[in-house]
Amino acid sequence: MPTAPADSEYGTTLVPTVTPFANGSVDADAVADLTEFVLSNGADGVVPCGTTGEFASLTLDEYETVVSASVEAADGAPVLPGAASSSVAGTLERIDVAADCGADAVLVVLPYFHGENGPGGNERFVRAVLAETDLPVILYNIPSCVGQSIDADLVEAVADHPDLAGMKDTSGDLTHFIEVIRRTGDDFHLFQGFDSQLVPGVSMGATGGINAVANVLPGLMADAIDAAASGDRERARELQVNHVGPIFNTSVEYGFASTTKAALVERDVIDDDAVRPPLVELDDEQVAEVRERLDATLGVAAE
Determine, yes or no, domain membership for 3: no
Determine, yes or no, domain membership for 7: no
Q: What tens digit of pLDDT does each residue of 25-56 get?
A: 999 999 999 999 999 999 999 999 999 999 99
55-64 contacts: CB < 8 A, separation 24 or more?
Answer: 55/19, 55/82, 55/84, 56/84, 57/276, 57/277, 57/279, 58/19, 58/26, 60/93, 60/94, 60/97, 62/19, 62/25, 62/26, 63/94, 63/97, 64/97, 64/100, 64/101
Confidence at residue 117, expressed as pLDDT on a 0 to 100 scale: 86
Determine, yes or no, domain membership for 37: yes
* CATH code for position 79: 3.20.20.70
Taking residue 28's Cβ as centre, other Cβ atoms within 10 Å add up to 18
Q: Give the domain range for residue 223.
A: 13-297
Residues with a known catalytic role: 140, 168
Determine, yes or no, domain membership for 2: no
Helix-helix angle 28-39:218-230, to 10 degrees? 30
The model's pTM is 0.95
Determine, yes or no, domain membership for 275: yes
Determine, yes or no, domain membership for 25: yes
Determine, yes or no, domain membership for 1: no
| Stretches in the chain below the pLDDT threshold 50 | 1-4, 301-303
Q: How far is CA 89 from the centre of its chain?
A: 23
Confidence at residue 5, expressed as pLDDT on a 0 to 100 scale: 52
User: Cβ(122)–Cβ(148) under 8 Å?
Assistant: yes
Confidence at residue 123, expressed as pLDDT on a 0 to 100 scale: 98
Count of structural domains, the chain:
1
Determine, yes or no, domain membership for 194: yes
CA–CA gap between residue 247 and residue 251 (Å, rounded): 6
